């Protein structure tokens, strides 16, 4: 169908297929019309296959930067996963989290939009998902994909909890030192006051040696 669209289109346009199965993986195809020297007569159609494997590798690098045991997903315009390393998410199947939260991608309804969402995912975990929608390309506005990175809330909050615990321990140590210092200071003051009182008492009785 896309090939026929190129044949019947205005010359000079570049068309993109969606990610489709080909060989052992997924590929995207770019098509454009080739014309004669007058640039008016169609001679042939140039078709270039681009494997999704390099994109898989890039997403894999993103996965390593995700906090916790969650993943990054590249989705097509139908919300189907076309790149991911999640063993529970099949390629060209609707993103699992859509099954439990149909509006999870609402923040990226418009081309080029981005946002985030906090929700309970397909596995029942509270997660935060950051997402961005790619701008469409080509004469047929292809490659209208979106990327979503999911991270568990418990792991996102872990550094804050750790910092809170450190602050509490530091505060307790400071309070303990303050109490110890206060007691030591009070004890020294009391000793000196006792000496003054004893001296004053002795002086009033005329027992102070000149």
- Above 70 in pLDDT, residue 173? no
- Above 90 in pLDDT, residue 166? no
pLDDT, mean over the chain? 80
Mean pLDDT of 177-204: 59
State the pLDDT at residue 101.
93
CB 98 within 8 A of CB 121: no
CA 39 to chain centre: 47
State the pLDDT at residue 183.
62
Mean pLDDT of 115-135: 89
User: How many Å apart are CA 204 and CA 186, to the nearest integer?
Assistant: 27
State the pLDDT at residue 191.
64
State the pLDDT at residue 58.
84
Mean pLDDT of 139-161: 80
Using 50, 70 and 90 to split pLDDT, how confident is the model at 187? low
- Above 90 in pLDDT, residue 102? yes
Q: What is the DSSP string of 26-47?
A: EEEEEEEEEE-TTS-SEEEEEE
Q: What is the DSSP letter of 80?
A: B
User: How many Å apart are CA 43 and CA 35, to the nearest integer?
Assistant: 5
State the pLDDT at residue 143.
85
Q: How many helices (H) and strands (E) does the chain have?
A: 4, 9
State the pLDDT at residue 100.
93
Q: What's the full length of the chain, in residues?
A: 210
Q: What is the pLDDT of residues 33-49, one digit of tens each?
A: 888 877 778 888 888 99
State the pLDDT at residue 198.
61
User: How many Å apart are CA 59 and CA 25, to the nearest integer?
Assistant: 15
User: How many Å apart are CA 166 and CA 102, to the nearest integer?
Assistant: 40
State the pLDDT at residue 96.
95
State the pLDDT at residue 121.
94
**Which residues 6+ apart lie within 8 Å of 131 measured at CB?**
105, 107, 108, 114, 115, 116, 117, 146, 147, 148, 149
More confident residue, 80 or 167: 80
């Amino acid at each position: 169908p896309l090939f026929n669209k190129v044949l019947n289109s205005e010359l000079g346009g570049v068309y993109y297929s969606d990610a489709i199965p080909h060989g052992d993986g997924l590929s995207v195809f770019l098509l454009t019309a080739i014309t004669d020297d007058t640039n008016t007569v169609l001679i042939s159609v140039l078709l270039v296959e681009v494997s999704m494997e390099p994109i898989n590798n890039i997403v894999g690098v993103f996965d390593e930067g995700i906090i916790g045991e969650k993943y990054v997903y590249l989705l097509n315009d139908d919300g189907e996963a076309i790149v991911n390393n999640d063993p529970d998410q099949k390629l060209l199947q609707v993103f699992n989290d859509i099954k439990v939260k149909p509006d999870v991608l609402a923040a990226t309804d418009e081309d080029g939009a981005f946002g985030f969402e906090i929700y309970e995912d397909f596995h029942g975990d509270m997660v935060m998902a950051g997402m961005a929608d790619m701008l469409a390309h080509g004469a047929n506005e292809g490659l209208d994909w979106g990327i979503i990175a999911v991270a568990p809330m418990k792991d996102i909050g872990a550094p804050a909890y750790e910092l809170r615990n450190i602050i509490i321990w530091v505060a307790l140590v400071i309070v303990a030192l303050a109490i110890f210092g206060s007691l030591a200071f009070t004890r020294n003051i009391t000793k000196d006051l006792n000496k003054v009182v004893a001296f004053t008492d002795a002086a009033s009785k005329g027992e102070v040696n000149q």
